[in-house]
Amino acid sequence: MRQNSVFSAMHEEPAPASVPIYWVVNRIVNATERALLVSQLRTAGVKRILYVSPPLSAMHCLSSEQARVLFAQAQNSVRNAMLAGAYTRSR
């Protein structure tokens, strides 16, 4: 996942100057991997990183209804954090 993310960051088309791009670091519970990802994203030129920490305690797989609900909540957490960040920065 880390290699794919860094590759994407290095090869994506640049956005117009008026469009801020944010990378979301989400659901990476291994602190070493999270630090490596952030470091490599920054080396690849990523300037804005948003960290989101959704509830992960019961998230082992998506086979149960509770796991699917937690997964959906986590996606909403990321979306809400991005919207709040964009709103704050636009003021």
What are the pLDDT digits (tens) for 6-44? Answer: 999 999 888 788 877 888 887 776 788 889 999 999 999
- What's the rounded Cα separation, in Å, for the pair 29 and 56? 8
Q: What's the mean pLDDT in 48-61?
A: 63
On the question of pLDDT at 91 being above 80, the answer is no
Contacts by residues 31-39 (CB-CB < 8 Å, ≥ 24 positions apart)? 33/2, 36/2, 37/1, 37/2, 37/5, 37/6
Backbone angles phi, psi at 27, to 5 degrees: 70, 25
Count structural domains, the chain: 1
Q: What is the DSSP letter of 64?
A: S
Q: Could you tell me the pTM of the whole model?
A: 0.61
- What's the rounded Cα separation, in Å, for the pair 36 and 27? 14
Give the residue numbers spanning the domain of 30: 2-90
Using alpha carbons, select from 91, 2, 90, 80 the residue that is nearest to residue 46: 2
